[in-house]
Amino acid sequence: MAALLESIIPAYPYTQYNDDPDIVAFFDAYNKLAQGYLDYFNNLNLPCWTSPAITGELLDWIAAGIYGESRPLLQISEDAIARGAY
């Protein structure tokens, strides 16, 4: 497997806007936010479904997308069906 990217390619304003502190601050904030998303997804480890970070709908999505499985439906009464606990 190829190595994961450690950092984003930073966004930056055009040269004529480099002297505007508001625009520069916007791009700095955007780059920090994008780096945070990259770090989160790098640490999420989607194929390992036993991770405590993978629960609920994300677990359903991984099970269906990677493993081709769906969560079993448990009938709890004659009229209602609930999703399984795992």
Where along the chain do its domains lie? Answer: 21-83
Is 0.75 surpassed by the pTM of this model?
no
19 by Cβ neighbours in 10 Å (0-12 / 13-18 / 19+) ranks as exposed
Question: CB of 49 within 8 A of CB of 58?
Answer: no
For each of the chain's 86 residues, which pLDDT tens digit applies? 677 889 999 999 999 999 999 999 999 999 999 999 999 988 887 777 788 888 888 888 888 988 898 888 776 766 665 666 55
Contact 81, 73 (CB under 8 A): yes
* CB contact at 8 A, 24 and 13: yes
